[in-house]
Amino acid sequence: MPRFALQVEYHGAPFAGWQRQADQPSVQGAIEAALAKLEPGPHTIAAAGRTDAGVHATAQVAHTDLTKDWDPFRLSEALNHHLKPAPVSIRACAQVDDDWHARFSAHERRYMFRLLMRRAPATHDAGLVWQVPQLLDADLMRQGAAHLVGHHDFTTFRSVICQAKSPVKTLDEIRIEEHEGLSGPELRFYLRARSFLHNQVRSIVGTLERVGAGSWPTERVREALEARSRAACGPVCPPQGLYLVGVGYPDYPFA
């Protein structure tokens, strides 16, 4: 059975997350339903990461095994046809080796978080950003973020329902960039690691927002990390500003 890698883009608002659920719409369920229209029967796809309800992706990666030796371009076109009108798109498709795995072959994940700073409610970017009413100090946030880069116990920034075996992770990068978007001034947070804990990115951004607002000194981020206690974390920001923007592999299948 040939195996195909899929690069997937989706708007997370209508879904209860990536993972298939019996009674709620999911991104996985939408793609598996489209596959069933091409090759009748049950399909199970695996993804590089399971995004939560409301979280978006521009470059999620999944794989599927099919019986037919599809041309990758034709497969992506056929899937996009059957995915309509769901806000899910197959951006690229490639045939891969039988032992290639979207999750276990990956060596890094990259997330972006968008934070819009303005008082008036967003219209064009509604559901695509986290909005706060005041300008934040990006330099202070960068100072706070520096305490989190590296190999740490991230218990403070881990959801209580996280199923990871260990809270110890290596955060390779946190980059904060200032943008003047169409809707107004925006901060974009770029985080890169081999893997992330459940709600880790949203917990980090919510904590750094407190620093940027002047409510926390930068050293409190270090103290929160060292506390290894969920109670020491800042507020967890909402999901609509979070995007899975890349997954790294030793041999990227869509190159």
Answer yes or no: is pLDDT of 33 > 90.
Answer: yes
| Residue 99: active-site member | no
The pLDDT score that the predictor gives to residue 88 is 98
pLDDT of 22 reads 86
Mean pLDDT of 105-127: 97
The pairs formed by 13-19 with CB atoms below 8 angstroms and a separation of 24 or more are 13/54, 13/87, 13/127, 13/240, 14/86, 14/87, 15/53, 15/54, 16/53, 17/50, 17/51, 17/52, 17/53, 17/55, 18/47, 18/49, 18/50, 18/51, 18/60, 19/50
State in words which class domain 3-105 has.
alpha beta
Question: Of 52, 137, 139, 251, which one is the catalytic site residue?
Answer: 52
pTM: 0.96
Tell me what pLDDT residue 54 has: 97
CATH topology of domain 108-246: Alpha-Beta Plaits (3.30.70)
Spatial contact of 102 and 47, defined as CB atoms under 8 Å apart: yes
Q: Quick one: pLDDT band at residue 53, thresholds 50, 70, 90?
A: very high
Domain ranges of the chain: 3-105, 108-246
Residue 203 pLDDT > 90 = yes
Mean pLDDT along residues 74-98:
98
- Same topology between domain 3-105 and domain 108-246: yes
Q: Predicted confidence band at 89 (pLDDT cuts at 50, 70, 90)? A: very high
